[in-house]
Amino acid sequence: MKLAKKIVRIFAIIIVCVIVLNIILFLTFNIPSVQKFAADFAIGKLKPKVKTEMSIDKIRIKLFNSVEIGGLYVEDQEKDTLLFADKLSARINIWNLLDNHLSIESVRLDNFTAKVYRESKDTTFNFQFIIDAFAPTDTLKKKSEKAPLKISINDIKLSNGTLRYDILSRPEAPGKFNPDHFFVKNFNLNADISSLDIKHLVADIQTLSFDEQKAGVKVYDLQGMVRSDGTKLWSDRLSLTLNNSHLDVSKAVYDIDSKAFNLTAKSDWIDPKDAAVFSDKLTHLSKPFAFDADLEGKIPQAEIKNLTARYGNQTAFTVNGLISDFSKYGDADISVDITNFRMSVQDLQDFIRIGAPAFVLGPQLESLENIELTLKAKGRMSNFNVVTQVNTSPGSFSFNGKGSTDSKFENINVDGRLVTENLQIGKIIGEEIGVDDLSLHTFAEVNIKKNELPKISIDGNVGSVFYKGYPYRDLTVSGVYNGNDNSVGGRVFTDTEDNKLDLYANIGFGNQMRFDVQGTIDKLFLSPLITVEKWENPYLTARINGKLQGQNIDDLEGNVVIDSTSLYDANFIYNPGPIYLQALSADEAGEKKIQVLSSIVEGEISGNYSFATIGTELMNALHPHLPTLIKEPPKKAAEVGTNFFRFNFLLKNTEDISYALSLPFINVEPATVTGTVDMVNSKSVQLSSHIPRLMFGQNEIRESKIDVNLGVLSGARVNANTYLVQENGHINARLDTRAISDSVINILHINVNNKVAKADGSLNISMGFRRDLEDNPVSDISINSTQVVFNGKTISIVPSSVVYEKEKITVNNFEIRENEMLLLGIDGVASKKREDAIRAFFNNTEVETILAAFNISTFKGSINGGVIVNQALADPLIQTDNFRIENIRTQTDTIGTLAIEGNWDVIKKGLSLDASIKNNGDNYLAVAGFVPMGSENPMDVDIKINDLPLAWVQPFAVSTFSQLSGTINSNINFSGKTNAPITEGWLGIDEGIMTVAFTNVTYNVSDTINISPKNIGLNNL
């Protein structure tokens, strides 16, 4: 008992001593001078060791197990701050040391700054000297027989920290995340590390936040946990909120030994601006991301169990896939399954620009609008199967085939069956072409090799395709496009009721240009291809055999023969005979030739011609004479010319082809065109043409001659002379135009000699050119003083000017006078502005002077008043100013005065019209109502006729009726649209006598015709 009491007394004394010692130390280290002494003592021991400046303001030891250091400062060897901490404290459980366990129960680090840097990636950090100072001198590793020390750090709190890291030799990138430079402020961390053993790791982050200054990244909160068991690391919770983005990881597992992994992560919102901080390639993206991913595998094998992603509101997709070895993906087994894929073409442009920043959607891709697809691919990159279905706004297509590529995607081949039904191809290639509704079943192959252009081949059937509304069906097509020599070759065959043809073509634009076209057209329906008003079901048959080849288009040689040609419809058959074209290579004199021979035209071009440069060279030759209109060419093109050739063509009688093609003219007698182009020596062009006889309907034009001359000194000159032959005379016109010194002078001579009028005179107009402040061309037109003698009267054109600008035409004082008396004047501004107006005004201008140009001599009268047009170059606003034709008379009767009053209706956007013909108090004609001018308002016009003599109409119909008499009465209303009027009312003919000029048969007509939208009714005809 005594021994036991003695042991207890000794143990109690020891405990009391320890407590008393801690109290003494606690009280002692609360004395500032003692804290200072302790700090100086510690620094005195450390400074010689690390050989740099260090300081500690105070050291404070709390009861039993706590130490607090205040004002810790450490410099690096460059005299810059390495570390500063306003307060560093730690509490250790010393009793756990007995169990080989270092247990730090709490750590506090407040108001601290750390600066870490190195010169380059190959050099050491600025704190390496500290590591070296405390490194053991004995580098021989000794096998430890003790169990490893267990370490745990709990209740870690770091607050208000500033961290800086730099690799000084690396460039900075402001506004972008740069792993070589970052600067963190407001660093705060709450965490627990219950075990630092990598095999039994237990770590929890309650919160982590900081502001990265250089990239503008603000981490609001990072929370998570990490555990390990042997070689397996895992986390069931990781959450990150960064700027305007958020990420959640619900499962992350990795086994160090087996390399098996599993990752489940999602984000409902990733701001594209946040993503752009980490990659410049994403700066153009403007819509938020979202994704949900479930990945697993065993490195290097990986499986995408599910990946769902979204970009904005219009793009989303789901992908499943597998790769057996992503480290050797070129030889790995791959499986990809894309479902529920949808994307707008604008989003497609965004994604393509990640790799190709300059990419711009063409009209072809824009027409797709929205893309939906499914895709399955399986195999190896060297040989895989692919099946896809693509749906777009113009239509859908599917592909089922095989593909191959190398690991660098430099050599790619895809081939298989391509099918589309009723694809609105017009939306893709352009609706103006007229092709639409394509149904295609074909084998297609695309082959791309490294450093080469694609090669594409097709072989299949076009079930149907519409061209300008007409269906072409059952077209067998095959062909190859080779991008390397820029060539295309193929065959088209069809045998249907409307079309039967078999054509082959091989066309190349590479190093060797070639055109090889052969085949037969047994029947080709022409209405979709050529529109001629009078044609009724037209067809073409022909046989084609042509082969041309050469280095370029200027050196082509060969022959083209088109024969067995027939053009026919329900009303005509036209067989033009064979057409021959021959291109010959240069002879000993260096002259090439192109010859054409047919029943319509024949001719020849001989010399050194270059179609590739002729346009540029002509502009070069014209530029010195019209420098304002024609921009100065490149000096090289201006100084060197290649074209030096002669040409002559003969146009034969075109009566048959003019009838077949419904041409507005017939060339009756052979016409010639000859000339010379010399862009090598004299920079000149000479052209002469002679057209002996040309018919335009009933008008006959004879002895037309046109001469064109272009020279360095003479400028550009055009002389033309022609005769319009009339039944009772002719009209002769001569034009002399010269362009030189940035101006054009036009002199037009007119001579009229017929039973209606005799006139002789000229019109002299000169034009100068300049550019406005916005570099738009401006024409200053001067109408010079000239005179025309008309039927013995001298008509004078007063000097005036016209200024023609981009959106404005200004007419200044244009006047036509007779013996100083004004006949016609035009003045004002024509533009798109409402306040601008142009005005035409008349003063006793004789009607017969105007009608004489149309060989009409039976009407006389005087025009007075004016017409005013506002915003003439947009939607014209028309109004009259007391406009009238007075004292209208024929050779036998006086009709009276036609008065027209027109005013613009601002509300309805049209012309309010009130017109009448009156004579001695009688109102023969009254027209009143509204006529829309480009608006949607309906037309409403009433026409009333009271006892209007038919004889007044006869002068306008001399060629049809030799006699007209009787009277007309009517009351008719026109409504609806101007292009589809609705007519309702009646028209009466009383004691009408009509003698047809051609047959000299006289008809007596008296009847009232009732007119309605549904029918026209006759009564007592």
pLDDT digits (tens, 9 = 90+) for 619-676: 888 888 999 888 876 655 556 788 999 999 999 999 999 888 888 899 999 999 999 9
Q: Are residues 100 and 235 in the same domain?
A: no
If one compares 604 and 660, the residue with the highest pLDDT of the two is 604
Give the list of residues 6+ apart from residue 308 with CB closer than 8 angstroms, or none.
Answer: 291, 292, 293, 316, 317, 318, 319
Alpha helices in 572-721 (DSSP H): 614-622, 635-639, 655-660
If one compares 467 and 520, the residue with the highest pLDDT of the two is 520
Q: Which two tokens stand for residue 457?
A: 């081949």
Half-sphere exposure of 630 (CA within 13 A, CB side): 21
Residue 72 lies in a domain: yes
DSSP assignment string, 702-724: EEEEEEEEEETTTEEEEEEEEEE
Answer whether 308's CB lies under 8 Å from 316's CB. Answer: yes
Q: Which two tokens stand for residue 230?
A: 């042997």
Q: Rounded to an integer, what distance in angstroms lies between the CA atom of residue 821 and that of residue 819?
A: 5
Percent of the chain with pLDDT over 90: 42
CA distances from 356 to 284, 309, 351, 364, 367 (A): 12, 22, 9, 18, 21
- What does residue 78 show for φ and ψ, rounded to 5 degrees? -100, 15
Q: Quote the pLDDT of residue 988.
A: 86
Give the list of residues 6+ apart from residue 616 with CB closer than 8 angstroms, or none.
Answer: 633, 637
Q: Rounded to an integer, what distance in angstroms lies between the CA atom of residue 797 and that of residue 824?
A: 10
Q: Are residues 276 and 331 in the same domain?
A: yes
Is the pLDDT reported for residue 523 higher than 70? Answer: yes
Mean pLDDT of all residues in the chain?
86
- In tens, the pLDDT along 15-46 reads 445 444 455 445 454 555 554 555 566 566 66
Q: Which residues make beta-bridge pairs with 945?
A: 925, 970
Q: Rounded to an integer, what distance in angstroms lies between the CA atom of residue 633 and that of residue 630?
A: 8
Q: Are residues 161 and 240 in the same domain?
A: no
- In one-letter notation, the amino acid at residue 296 is E
User: Chain-centre distance of CA 451, in angstroms?
Assistant: 28
Give the list of residues 6+ apart from residue 711 with CB closer than 8 angstroms, or none.
Answer: 682, 683, 684
- In tens, the pLDDT along 173-223 reads 888 888 899 899 999 999 999 888 888 899 999 999 999 999 999 999 999
Going by C-alpha positions, the residue among 317, 316, 362, 371 that lies closest to residue 344 is: 371
Cis peptide bond prior to 692, omega within 30° of 0: no
Q: Are residues 42 and 155 in the same domain?
A: yes
Q: Quote the pLDDT of residue 390.
A: 92
Domain end residue (candidates: 393, 426, 453): 393
Is the pTM higher than 0.75? The answer reads no
Going by C-alpha positions, the residue among 84, 53, 89 that lies closest to residue 71 is: 84
- In tens, the pLDDT along 58-106 reads 877 765 567 888 888 888 888 888 889 999 888 887 666 667 777 888 9
Residue 257 lies in a domain: yes
Q: Rounded to an integer, what distance in angstroms lies between the CA atom of residue 292 and that of residue 817?
A: 87
> For residues 806-827, b (16+ Cβ closer than 10 Å) or e, as one string?
eebbbbeebbbbbeeeebbbbb
> Taking residues 163-172, what's their average pLDDT?
91
Which segment of 2-6, 288-292, 549-553, 1014-1018 scores lowest on mean pLDDT?
A: 2-6
Q: Rounded to an integer, what distance in angstroms lies between the CA atom of residue 858 and that of residue 895?
A: 12
Q: Rounded to an integer, what distance in angstroms lies between the CA atom of residue 259 and that of residue 266?
A: 23
Q: Which two tokens stand for residue 852?
A: 């004489």
Q: Rounded to an integer, what distance in angstroms lies between the CA atom of residue 101 and that of residue 65?
A: 15
Answer whether 692's CB lies under 8 Å from 703's CB. Answer: yes
> Taking residues 506-528, what's their average pLDDT?
90
- In one-letter notation, the amino acid at residue 683 is K
Answer whether 548's CB lies under 8 Å from 561's CB. Answer: no
Q: Quote the pLDDT of residue 639.
A: 64
Q: Are residues 185 and 235 in the same domain?
A: no
Domain end residue (candidates: 344, 363, 393): 393
Is the pLDDT reported for residue 713 higher than 80? Answer: yes
Is the pLDDT reported for residue 844 higher than 70? Answer: yes
- In tens, the pLDDT along 391-439 reads 998 999 999 999 998 877 788 899 999 999 888 888 887 777 888 899 9
Residues recorded for the chain:
1021
Q: Quote the pLDDT of residue 954.
A: 73
Burial class (CB in 10 A: 0-12, 13-18, 19+), 523: middle
Which pLDDT band, with edges at 50, 70 and 90, does 290 fall under? very high
Q: Which two tokens stand for residue 709?
A: 């001359």
Residue 373 lies in a domain: yes
Q: Are residues 193 and 312 in the same domain?
A: no
Q: Are residues 168 and 236 in the same domain?
A: no
User: Chain-centre distance of CA 670, in angstroms?
Assistant: 48
Domain end residue (candidates: 393, 427, 456): 393
Q: Quote the pLDDT of residue 856.
A: 66
Q: Rounded to an integer, what distance in angstroms lies between the CA atom of residue 814 and that of residue 818?
A: 14
Question: 52 is in which domain, residue-wise?
Answer: 31-127+149-198
Q: Rounded to an integer, what distance in angstroms lies between the CA atom of residue 92 and that of residue 526?
A: 100
Q: Rounded to an integer, what distance in angstroms lies between the CA atom of residue 373 and that of residue 565?
A: 48
Number of domains in the chain: 2
Q: Rounded to an integer, what distance in angstroms lies between the CA atom of residue 217 and that of residue 855?
A: 88
DSSP assignment, residue 178? B
* Interior angle at CA 902, CA 896 and CA 905, nearest 5: 160
Q: Which residues make beta-bridge pairs with 516?
A: 506, 547
Residue 761 lies in a domain: no
Is the pLDDT reported for residue 369 higher than 70? Answer: yes
Residue 866 lies in a domain: no
Q: Which residues make beta-bridge pairs with 923?
A: 918
CA distances from 838 to 265, 278, 622, 906, 1004 (A): 73, 64, 34, 18, 48
Answer whether 965's CB lies under 8 Å from 1000's CB. Answer: no
CA distances from 989 to 974, 1003, 1007 (A): 20, 12, 5
Going by C-alpha positions, the residue among 873, 624, 627 that lies closest to residue 771 is: 627
Q: Are residues 191 and 291 in the same domain?
A: no
- In tens, the pLDDT along 315-332 reads 999 999 999 888 887 788
Going by C-alpha positions, the residue among 104, 105, 199, 106 that lies closest to residue 147 is: 199
- In tens, the pLDDT along 954-972 reads 766 766 777 888 888 999 8
Going by C-alpha positions, the residue among 506, 525, 508 that lies closest to residue 517 is: 506
- In tens, the pLDDT along 780-832 reads 999 999 988 888 888 888 999 999 998 999 999 999 888 878 888 999 999 99
Residue 821 lies in a domain: no
Task: Give CA torsion, residues 602, 606, 612, 615, to 10 deg.
Answer: -80
Q: Rounded to an integer, what distance in angstroms lies between the CA atom of residue 727 and that of residue 755?
A: 9
- In tens, the pLDDT along 301-320 reads 999 999 999 999 999 999 99
Q: Are residues 245 and 382 in the same domain?
A: yes
Q: Quote the pLDDT of residue 853.
A: 57
Q: Tokens 């063509």 label which residue?
A: 649
Q: Are residues 158 and 273 in the same domain?
A: no
* Interior angle at CA 489, CA 485 and CA 490, nearest 5: 160
Kind plus residue range of the DSSP H or E element containing 107: strand 101-118
Residue 524 lies in a domain: no
- In one-letter notation, the amino acid at residue 697 is G
Which pLDDT band, with edges at 50, 70 and 90, does 857 fall under? low
Q: Are residues 168 and 246 in the same domain?
A: no
Q: Which residues make beta-bridge pairs with 823?
A: none
Q: Are residues 264 and 353 in the same domain?
A: yes
Q: Rounded to an integer, what distance in angstroms lies between the CA atom of residue 587 and that of residue 591?
A: 5
Which segment of 128-137, 755-764, 812-821 scores lowest on mean pLDDT?
A: 128-137
Answer whether 966's CB lies under 8 Å from 1005's CB. Answer: yes
Q: Which residues make beta-bridge pairs with 59?
A: 69
- What does residue 669 show for φ and ψ, rounded to 5 degrees? -110, 155
Residue 164 lies in a domain: yes
Which pLDDT band, with edges at 50, 70 and 90, does 549 fall under? very high
